[in-house]
Amino acid sequence: MIKQQKIKIKNAPEVLRIIPLGGLEEVGRNMTVFEYQNQILIVDLGLQFPDESMPGIDFIIPNIEYLTQHPEKKILGVIITHAHYDHIGAIPYLLDKLNYPTIYTAPLSKDIILKRQEDFSYLKKPHIEIINHSNQVTQLGPFSLETFHLNHNIPDTLGLALKTPVGTIFYTTDFKFDFHPIADKPADLSKIANLASHGVSLLMSDSTGAENPGHSISEKTIMENLDTIFAQAPGRIILATFSSLLSRLQQAIWLSEKYNRKVTIEGYSMKTNIKIAEHLGYLQIKKDTLVDWKTLSQSDPKRITILCTGAQGESEAALIKIVNREHKNLRIQKGDTVIFSSSIVPGNERAVQNLKDDLIKQGAKVYHYKMLDIHASGHGFQDDLKMMINLTKPKFFMPIHGHYSMLSAHADLAESVNIPRENIVIAQNGQIIELTSESIKATEKFVPTNYVMVDGLGVGDIGEIVLRDRQTLSRDGIFIIIALVDRKTGLLYNSPEIVSRGFVYMKESKELLQEVKKLTAEIISRCTKEQTFNEIYIRNTLRDEIGIYLFKKTQRRPMVLPVVMEV
């Protein structure tokens, strides 16, 4: 009898899948999926603002097809790291499609999310549970979550220590280290070190500032420079910044109180955020500091501060309405001091420059971050990022949040502080990353992450074809030909009507338009001789041949839109 030998089968290692649905190779649209055995944890549901190539688009949100097309996958919850729109902005558009999983976040983020949800009253109210910076542990299926306090330019920013079956993942979100913050506490370095002392398998860290050397500027420096401006300002001070930049708003309020100025707030989102932050105790405001316009109109200009939105030149923001004399209460006056306390978002350079020019023409003195340190990035620079790596001492490293050059620069930083290159993964949106206790691998598998564009009430109904049409219209305009065709003769019933918008000025292009009318008659006559009346055939022929003719004459390609009707 032959004795059978038992073959030992080695168990396959447990695998955690990490799938970024946004936030890589771009700034914004942050959303990351952590998946273990069909159980899913989501971090952030953010939006991205459109660039100049997307006319008419309000913003872009993540594509969640991977989640909605696989009902066997159970979503355990959504963790929101902080209350900026690139981390919370997609919640009203995606939460119902995800079947309303519980949101876990800090108090300030909770209130801002719920306040924004009031604009979407037809949706179910989200269920939100509070997590904080204490030693609270939140158990979500196979995931165990603890948080730690980080500095950003909004309070209640949560860093995540996520314990998984394959090891602990540190997820920094947007952060910097500020040892002298305003309206905030310094980052909790001791807790970060304590959580990391048990071993960190993977660090996923913010890369937005990875190309900038040194440390990011402290809010203490910003406060000192703003103090100098407040002390010297001869009249009203108008400070424009992001509505979510609560530390800057607190600085302006404190300095106004120091120099005996009354404060008014302009901008719906700014008013909302200040009210929420004050209620939660994140802003300190004396009883009589904030006043209405009736009180302000009777005050000495040297005793007035106006806080407003519009530092990016946004068309609907308060500052642009003031400059354009569209604001019902406020005009720029000689002696006004206007402070742009924000950096310029890429793509807004021209709008901001025009705004500054108009303010100066109207008699204002303008200060901006290139003249003086009156704005600090909320993102850590190279020394901050290296400090995070040294604090956590991860086995593996994955840069997140930023364009590819930023991710690459962050990877180089990690290698410079002794993270082996083979342990570093630079991923793309949609790429499936597989993490085990012994390895990390960027697979060749991808899930859909194409843009989902929001335009008014439409979500995802604007695709590449519509966007391309809008781009054509914005570049070369539209040329409409309205032709009535006699059903008996197959010829034009009367002279075609032509409408040009954004292509040529019709009163100055009469010769061109007459030639187009003549060519239209010839094309229709030819088409109806070849076959009986076929509206689609005539329309397509007109579009192609008139388009070629207009290009030869003008070297421009307007959208040619023929309208053909039989009478």
* Average pLDDT of span 458-462: 60
pLDDT, greater one: 383 or 467: 383
What string of H, E and C letters represents the secondary structure of 314-331? CCCCHHHHHHCCCCCCCC
Characterize the bridge pairing of strands 16-22 and 431-435. Answer: antiparallel
Q: Which residues pair with 433 in a beta bridge?
A: 18, 442
Residues 206 and 249 in one domain: no
pLDDT at residue 2 above 60? no
Beta bridge pairs of residue 151: 176
Measured in degrees and rounded to the nearest 5, phi and psi for residue 229 equal -65, -45
Does 510 share its domain with 407? no
Using CA atoms, how far apart are residues 551 and 204, in angstroms rounded to an integer?
51
pLDDT band at 387 (very low <50, low <70, confident <90, very high): very high
**CATH number of residue 433's parent domain:** 3.60.15.10
* CATH assignment of the domain containing 546: 3.10.20.580
In this structure, are 166 and 30 located in the same domain?
yes
pLDDT of 375: 73
Q: Are residues 54 and 73 in the same domain?
A: yes
Q: Which two tokens stand for residue 484?
A: 């009535």
Cα separation of 414 and 409, whole Å?
9
User: Considering the domain boundaries, does residue 273 fall inside one?
Assistant: yes
Label the pairing between strands 440-446 and 39-43.
Answer: unpaired
Six-digit token string for 123: 């949706």
Residue 437 lies in a domain: yes
| C-alpha–C-alpha distance, residues 167 and 532, integer Å | 73
Same domain for 398 and 358?
A: no
Res 476 pLDDT > 80 = no
Indicate whether 312 belongs to any domain: yes
Same domain, 118 and 240: no
Q: Do 95 and 207 sit in the same domain of this protein?
A: yes
User: Who has greater pLDDT, 446 or 533?
Assistant: 446
- Does residue 470 fall inside a structural domain? no
Q: What are the distances in angstroms from CA 551 to CA 208, 487, 514, 541?
A: 43, 31, 16, 15
Asked if 266 and 309 touch (Cβ cutoff 8 Å), the reply is: yes
Tokens of 415: 């290698």
What the block records as the tokens of 81 is 């790291």
149 an active-site residue? no
> Which is catalytic among the residues 174, 178, 206, 455?
206
Residue where a domain stops, chosen among 344, 367, 390: 367
pLDDT of 8 reads 43
Query: Phi-psi bin for 7: left (phi > 0), alpha (psi -120 to 50), beta?
Result: beta
pLDDT digits (tens, 9 = 90+) for 92-151: 999 999 999 999 999 999 999 999 998 888 889 999 999 976 778 999 999 999 999 999
Domain co-membership, 506 together with 451 = no
Q: Are 542 and 463 in contact (CB under 8 A)?
A: no
Residues 208 and 223 in one domain: no
Letter for the amino acid at 39? Answer: Q
Average of pLDDT values for 1-18?
Answer: 62
438 secondary structure, DSSP code? S
Residue 327 falls in the annotated catalytic set: no
Are residues 236 and 313 located together in one domain of the fold?
yes
DSSP states of 182-241: SSS----HHHHHHHHTT--SEEEEE-TTTTS-SPPPPHHHHHHHHHHHHHH-SS-EEEE-
- The answer for residues whose C-beta is within 8 angstroms of residue 400's C-beta and 6 or more apart is 20, 23, 24, 32, 171, 204, 205, 206, 207, 407
- Is 464 part of any domain? no
Q: How many structural domains is the chain composed of?
A: 3
Together in a domain, 540 and 525: yes
Which of 346, 367, 388 is the C-terminal boundary of a domain?
367
Catalytic residue (one of 84, 87, 379, 401) = 379
pTM, entire model: 0.81
For residue 378, give the nearest of 87, 24, 169 by alpha carbon.
87
pLDDT band at 464 (very low <50, low <70, confident <90, very high): low
Residues 243-296: tens digit of each pLDDT: 888 888 999 999 999 999 999 998 888 999 999 999 998 889 998 899 887 777
Q: Taking a C-beta distance cutoff of 8 angstroms, is the pair 381, 214 a contact?
A: yes
Tens-place pLDDT, residues 351-385? 788 888 888 999 889 888 766 666 778 899 999 99
For CA atoms 309, 313, 315, 319, give the dihedral sign.
positive
The upper half-sphere exposure of residue 214, i.e. CA atoms within 13 Å in the direction of its Cβ, equals: 4
List helix spans (H) across 477-555.
510-530, 535-554
Provide the 3-class DSSP secondary structure of residue 305. strand
Cβ 516 vs Cβ 550: under 8 Å = yes
Q: What is the CATH number of the domain that holds 303?
A: 3.40.50.10710
Of the ranges 140-154, 326-340, 546-560, the best mean pLDDT one? 140-154
Q: Is residue 1 part of a domain?
A: no
> For 523-542, what is the mean pLDDT?
80
Give the separation between CA 22 and CA 30, rounded to whole angstroms.
5
Residue-averaged pLDDT of the chain: 87
7 is a domain residue: no
Q: What confidence score (pLDDT) does residue 7 get?
A: 44
Q: Report how far residue 80's alpha carbon sits from residue 166's, in angstroms, rounded to the nearest whole number.
A: 23
Task: Domain of residue 440: give its range.
Answer: 16-214+377-459
Tokens of 186: 């310094």
Q: Is residue 503 part of a domain?
A: yes
Residues 321 and 274 in one domain: yes
Last residue of a domain, one of 399, 425, 459: 459
